[in-house]
Every structure is written in C-alpha cells, then in structure tokens.
Amino acid sequence: METYVQKGMGSSSIYVTLSTQATARGVTNWLVSDVTDSDHRLLNYTVDIAPNTSQGFKRFDVRRADWDSFSQELAISVLSVQTTVGVNEHASTLTDAIIAAATKAIPSKPSRRWIIQRQPWWSDRLTSMRKTLNANKRQGTDATRQTGIQPSEK
C-alpha cells in the first residue's frame, strides 16, 4: 500500500524505518494503514527491546556536602590504589573511589526526571476526557462529537 496518496498529485511509498543497530532486530510487524483523513498513511510497527536495567547516574547535592569528610574518605580510598596497573584500570579505580567518598559525604538529590507535579486545577474527569480524546485521534475519528464536547461560544 502506498504511504502517501494525493489525487492529482500522485502517490509514493516510503518503507524506511530508522533504528540503532542494537534495536534493528526487534523492529517487526511493519504495516501501512489507511485510517486517517490525511494524505499520509499511518505506519505501524512493533519494537521489541529489552528493558534498560542500568541504574543511571546518582545526583549529589554538593551545596550540602561535608567536604572534610569527603576529603578524608577519598584519601583513605586512594591509598589502596595500585599504580602498577594500566591507565584504564587506574582511572576506573579512582572513579570508584570518588563515587564511594561522595556517597558517604554528600547527600543525594532526588531524581527530577520522574517527579510529576499535578496542576491544582486538573481533575480525574479531565484525565478521562484527555484519554478518550487521544484514543479517538488514534482511530481517526472526530473526537469532539464522540465525547460530547461542545465548542465554546465567544
């Protein structure tokens, strides 16, 4: 099925999915659907990838750090560093020592990425209406008629 169709203008097919090399094997079920009012057709595909199990970076609140304690912890950790190992191992050991000292002497910041602050005027009814609207958009229907929303008069 063509991915773009316009009467009098022609049609075209673009069957390209861009992905990283790691996720390319997981892209399956590629399908072109004609469910919208647009000249462009909807492209559907499934991406099967393993969940990211890495922990991410810990954020430290350096304004509340106990720098004397940090210096002491770091000095103790650095004493055990072997200087006869290679550069990469040495860098890794020093990084681990700094992180260990920071964990003991500097409080961590909460992750801002996952904090969701709800507006005081937002309600469960608005959430439900938004979900219905988005579902209707995905189906290519006129969501305002289906939800009973009346246009405001000005």
Dihedral sign for Cα atoms in the order 29, 35, 41, 47: negative
Domain ranges of the chain: 1-49, 62-105
What global pTM score does this model have?
0.39
pLDDT per position as a tens digit, 16-72: 667 777 777 888 888 877 777 677 777 788 888 776 655 566 788 999 999 999 999
CB distance 89 to 97 below 8 Å: no
List the one residue out of 1, 26, 25, 5 whose CA is nearest residue 15: 1
